[in-house]
Amino acid sequence: MPVLATAILVFVLVFCWLALQRHAAFWTGRFDLGNMVQAVWATAHGHPLEVTSTSGVQFIRLGAHVDPILAVFAPLWWVWPAPQMLLVVQVVVVATGAVPAALLGRRWIGDETLALACGIVYLMYPAIQWSLVTEFHPVTLATPLLLWCIWAVDTDRTWVLMVLAPLAALTKEQVGVALAMIGVWALVRRSRRRVGAALIGGGLSWSLVCFLFIIPHFSPVGESPFVGRYAELGESQGAVLKTVVTRPWEALAIMVDGGRPGYLAAMLLPLLLLPLLAPIVALGALPELGLNLLAQYWPQYSVQYQYTAVTSAFLIAGTIGGIARLRRMRLPGPAASFVANPVRLSAIIVGAVVAGGYVQGPLPFWGALPGGSTIRTHEYTVTRHAHAQAGAVAVVPGDVAVSTSNLLGSRLSARRHVYTWPVIRDAAWVVVDTKRPFIGDRISEAEHRWRVAALERDRRFQVRYSVDGVLVFERVRR
């Protein structure tokens, strides 16, 4: 498919530019690109997956998320030791997901035009596009990997599955559950008993080991640091699960509250609700959707963040299955004629996903058109303030402990100890940005103001750089 290859190439060029431009404009941060940079840097320097927590404690990243696939990037860091490497590799890997989408379209639908449309839908899906311009996250790689796994099951490529399924599992702790859902589909729809049983047993076992043993063992606080996002349901993983099972109405009340219905609409409407016509494969999205809809942390139920990665894979597969079923359905005359025409049907399907991007996608040129998305378009412009931030980063030596504001953190994380402002501890240098007043990963202007004022009065530190509200302090040597 030369057209699909061209589309993938254009996609890679556009989203590499957007991701790198956003980084150049200093809108990537310690959360989360900087965290990944530190983990990869530490691995490349003999301290596997070691990072600094928000409280200033050194720990193995597996205590936050079980995403050891980060270790695979260590050799790449030796070749290209920069945060930009992670951003570029992420775009390239995710772009490959258009291939299994098209291959599944060819197998399930049996039409080359619609198969090509399936690949284009994958590339134009707003949730996938957003995941590429919002930092770097290992779980984002799960989107193409899971689609490749579905294709491997469908074509009985066991050896491919044996390589890709473990890689997918290494992107985040709950991806094992997603693999188990592929196993259910393999059993029910493809009658592949051994493969299905292996995916179900292996996937669930891996996720259980992650949640019950790996995370508690490596966590500085003895449990997942993200349990608090489900505080309305319980104070621990067990309590949350008990509430969901014994009082499901409480969970349901949360899932329909606030912006959550809008999140579901944003995920499904660009796909014309087609995943609903292929419920067995689309059901694989349910566990991740449940985690997102139950959370009190709003980015989890927004299409603008990485939390859609696992869900997107199943919804794209469901869309392909939905098209196949739609073509087999007995429809009234005009509808049957329309669906039977692959060019017209492809135009509607691709048009819908493009319209979804027009309304809520990350491509900045949409904003130049009437009613087009202007969401975060300012983040691609390198401003005078960004130059001031770059100057501050250049002042800090590369081999010292540093305390940094969030949006300076992605540039200063390739070192052993990186504290997140206002934590200072033994940091020799402190870098803060008064115009983007982050306290940890949250903005708090009042607290930021008084903490900076206190640091300016602290005789243990001297100001070494001050441009456009960006300050660099060095600890006085005595």
Q: Shortest CA distance to 141 belongs to which of 199, 69, 211, 85? A: 69
Residue type at position 77: W
Q: What is the pLDDT of residues 461-472, one digit of tens each?
A: 999 999 999 999
Q: Residue 331 has what pLDDT?
A: 84
3-state secondary structure of 475: strand
DSSP 180-233: HHHHHHHHHHH--HHHHHHHHHHHHHHHHHIIIIIHHHH-TTSS-TTGGGGTTT
Q: Residue 258 has what pLDDT?
A: 87
Rounded mean pLDDT of 340-356? 95
Structure-model confidence comparison of residues 375 and 210, the more confident one: 210
Residue 1: pLDDT over 80: no
Q: What is the pLDDT of residues 221-280, one digit of tens each?
A: 888 888 889 989 988 888 998 999 999 999 999 999 988 999 999 999 999 999 999 999
- Give Cα separations from 134 to 31, 196, 306 (angstroms): 10, 34, 7
- How far apart CA 163 and CA 323 sit, in angstroms, is 29
- Neighbour-count burial for 413-424, b at 16+ CB within 10 Å, e otherwise: bbbbbbbbbbbb
- How far apart CA 98 and CA 103 sit, in angstroms, is 9
Report yes or no: 473 and 464 within 8 Å, Cβ to Cβ: yes
Residue with tokens 């998305």: 373
DSSP 79-92: HS-SHHHHHHHHHH
Sheet holding 418-420, edge to edge: 418-420, 402-404, 429-433, 470-475, 461-467
- How far apart CA 383 and CA 323 sit, in angstroms, is 45
**C-alpha distance across the termini of the chain, in Å:** 67
Confidence of residue 477 (pLDDT cuts 50, 70, 90): confident
Q: Please give the structure tokens belonging to residue 391.
A: 């100057």
Average pLDDT for the chain: 95
Residue 436: pLDDT over 90: yes
Rounded mean pLDDT of 421-448? 94
Confidence of residue 366 (pLDDT cuts 50, 70, 90): confident
Q: What is the pLDDT of residues 109-145, one digit of tens each?
A: 999 999 999 999 999 999 999 999 999 999 999 999 9
Residue type at position 62: L
- Give Cα separations from 56 to 51, 52, 175, 429, 437 (angstroms): 9, 6, 29, 14, 19
Residue 189: pLDDT over 90: no
